[in-house]
Amino acid sequence: MMRNSGAGETPSSGMPGSALAEETDDANSSRLAWKEEQLRIWDLLQLVAPWLLLTISTVIYFSWVLPGSGERFWPEGASVLGLVAVSVLWVLFGHTLPIRRRMLRPVPSGIFFLGLLGLCVALMSYSDIFLVFTVAGFFHAYLLRPWPLGVIGVLATSVALNGAAMRLWTDPKPAGLAEFVLIVAVQTAAIGVGILLTARSEPEERKREELVARLEAALHENAGLHAQLIAQARESGVQDERQRLAGEIHDTLAQGLAGIITQLQAAERSGDVDGETEEHVTRALRLARSSLAEARRSVQALVPQELGQAHLPDALRTLTERWAEDEGVAAKVEVTGTREPLSPAIEVSLFRVVQESLTNVAKHAGASRVGVTLSYAGAEVLLDVRDDGRGFTNGVGTGFGLTSMRQRIRGVGGHLEVQSAPGEGTSISARVPAIAPGAARAEGDAER
């Protein structure tokens, strides 16, 4: 309700909603920090109060009350010193250590309270100065559970404290008795209300404190996991980059060098035929220049040279026509659907699939015809490369070229299938999402 009201008043006050939310979060954080600090102070006070009160009472008694009474140290002083020593051990083992070790239990706590009250009454029988030490009973009453026992503890402490202070036990008077009852009732009610409120609010504060501690531990654990994820992502990125570079080298330099070797071997075999040697050498030189240009381009951008000068359909036509001219195989490129610009990563992947497919046809298929079909089908782009070569048995085509094609297409969210049979040619089909360049950039920005 308050948050909605604050949001509604935002336009009039000129404060943005985010700023208001941040201010609210800061206020909540400050309030929780203040409450946590109050809890720590209260815990420290409960821990220290019995020792402080006992020390004050003992020091005043032995430095002032005992000498002032004119009595010798023995036997009264020795008796008080013995009771003080017992009180020290009682507070240490019944109060301080259980609180420090978080082992305070209801039954032992009640036993400690009764023993503490008995020691206070015994000490007050020697001197009223130990009324100061008896006040420790009020502090320990807050630790009694359930809370009605705490109220009873306050009542018992108040009776012992005020009874000794008013000398009601040694000289009872009706007027003094009425005053005693009134003081005890008011004192018990005032401190008992505090116990009741503490019993209701303190468990929630304790739970919140434990939750904060668990959240801090979870944050530390998440920080370690985050560091591990960053290291794993870095290693994965390095591995992916190595695979990508291996594919680029295979698709460019390796294929170009293989073509040069083929042309030079053909020139060597046709050394006695006029004109053919020169033609093969010319093709080899063209492949060498193209490979050199690809190597330089790979260093700069890793984008196919053909795609740098034209869109995907035109680049595929240029590639296929050049390949058909070099290999002497009839090849045709067909484009269907409405042409749409694609993400550079998708265009490069499709281009490399056609390039690798044509290289495999030249090396292994012995085909007479090759067909390349690029289809724009709305949300998807389909690519088919078919030949009428010798084909192969399913499961045989597991070379680096086919593996590289699958990885490329999978890397852009697509799927690649290879179908072949002996004597029936080979078909390579790729299906990728039609992601526009602007959409890819927007998606990348959103991820960042």
Per-residue pLDDT reduced to its tens digit, 330-339: 889 999 988 8
Lowest mean pLDDT among 155-159, 324-328, 430-434: 324-328
Tokens, residue 370: 């090759």
CATH class of 312-448: alpha beta
Q: Say yes or no to pLDDT of 278 above 80.
A: no
- The pLDDT-based confidence of 275 (bands split at 50, 70, 90) is low
CB–CB of 411/401 below 8 Å? no
Q: What span, in angstroms and rounded, lies between the C-alpha atoms of 103 and 277? A: 98
Kindly tell me the sign of the dihedral angle through the C-alpha atoms of 210, 215, 220, 225.
positive
* 381-425 pLDDT per residue, tens: 999 999 888 887 765 555 667 777 888 888 888 888 888 888 888
Q: Say yes or no to pLDDT of 448 above 50.
A: no
Identify the DSSP state of 301.
T
Tokens, residue 192: 């008992």
Is the pLDDT higher at 438 or at 91? 91
Q: Please report the pLDDT score of residue 47 as a whole number.
A: 87
Is the pLDDT higher at 234 or at 201? 201
Whether the bond between 146 and the residue before it is cis, its omega within 30 degrees of 0, is yes
Q: Say yes or no to pLDDT of 290 above 90.
A: no
Is the pLDDT higher at 236 or at 320? 320
Q: Please report the pLDDT score of residue 349 as a whole number.
A: 86
User: How far is residue 349 CA from its own chain's centroid?
Assistant: 34
- Going by their DSSP bridges, the two strands 415-420 and 380-387 should be labelled as unpaired
Give, in order, the Cα–Cα distances in Å from 443 to each of 240, 343, 366, 433. Answer: 20, 12, 44, 14
CB atoms within 10 A of CB 133: 25
Q: Give the 3-state DSSP-derived string for 404-425, with helices as H, strands as E and coil as C.
A: HHHHHHHHCCCEEEEEECCCCC
Kindly tell me the sign of the dihedral angle through the C-alpha atoms of 324, 309, 409, 383.
negative
Nearest CA-CA partner of 120 in 171, 92, 80: 80
Q: Say yes or no to pLDDT of 14 above 50.
A: no
Give, in order, the Cα–Cα distances in Å from 244 to each of 241, 345, 378, 405. Answer: 5, 12, 28, 11
3-state secondary structure (DSSP) of residue 172: coil
Q: What span, in angstroms and rounded, lies between the C-alpha atoms of 389 and 361? A: 8
Q: Say yes or no to pLDDT of 56 above 90.
A: yes
CB atoms within 10 A of CB 243: 15
CB–CB of 124/130 below 8 Å? yes
- The pLDDT-based confidence of 289 (bands split at 50, 70, 90) is confident
Q: Say yes or no to pLDDT of 156 above 80.
A: yes
User: Residue range 271-282: average pLDDT?
Assistant: 67
CB atoms within 10 A of CB 315: 22
- The pLDDT-based confidence of 5 (bands split at 50, 70, 90) is very low
* 176-190 pLDDT per residue, tens: 788 888 888 998 898
Q: Say yes or no to pLDDT of 63 above 80.
A: yes
* 66-83 pLDDT per residue, tens: 776 666 677 888 889 999
CB–CB of 144/153 below 8 Å? yes
Q: Say yes or no to pLDDT of 8 above 50.
A: no
CB–CB of 260/254 below 8 Å? no
CB–CB of 305/291 below 8 Å? no
Is the pLDDT higher at 443 or at 125? 125
Is the pLDDT higher at 312 or at 30? 312
Is the pLDDT higher at 192 or at 16? 192
Whether the bond between 437 and the residue before it is cis, its omega within 30 degrees of 0, is no
Nearest CA-CA partner of 113 in 84, 85, 142: 142
Q: Where are the domains of the chain?
A: 17-172, 312-448
Q: Please report the pLDDT score of residue 212 as a whole number.
A: 78
- Going by their DSSP bridges, the two strands 369-377 and 330-336 should be labelled as parallel
Which residues are CB-contacts of 52 (< 8 A; sequence separation ≥ 6)? none
Identify the DSSP state of 77.
I
Q: Please report the pLDDT score of residue 9 as a whole number.
A: 40
* 252-263 pLDDT per residue, tens: 666 666 667 776
Tokens, residue 132: 């100061």
Q: Say yes or no to pLDDT of 236 above 70.
A: no
CB–CB of 66/130 below 8 Å? no
Q: Say yes or no to pLDDT of 328 above 90.
A: no
Give, in order, the Cα–Cα distances in Å from 193 to each of 161, 196, 205, 357, 421. Answer: 19, 5, 18, 87, 91
pLDDT above 90 covers a percentage of the chain that reads: 15
Q: Please report the pLDDT score of residue 200 as a whole number.
A: 72
Query: Residue 372's beta-bridge partner residues?
Result: 333, 385
pLDDT above 70 covers a percentage of the chain that reads: 70
Q: Say yes or no to pLDDT of 441 above 60.
A: no
CB–CB of 308/344 below 8 Å? no
- The pLDDT-based confidence of 234 (bands split at 50, 70, 90) is low
* Averaged pLDDT score across all residues of the chain: 77
**Model pTM score:** 0.41
Identify the DSSP state of 130.
G
Which residues are CB-contacts of 326 (< 8 A; sequence separation ≥ 6)? 259, 263, 283, 287
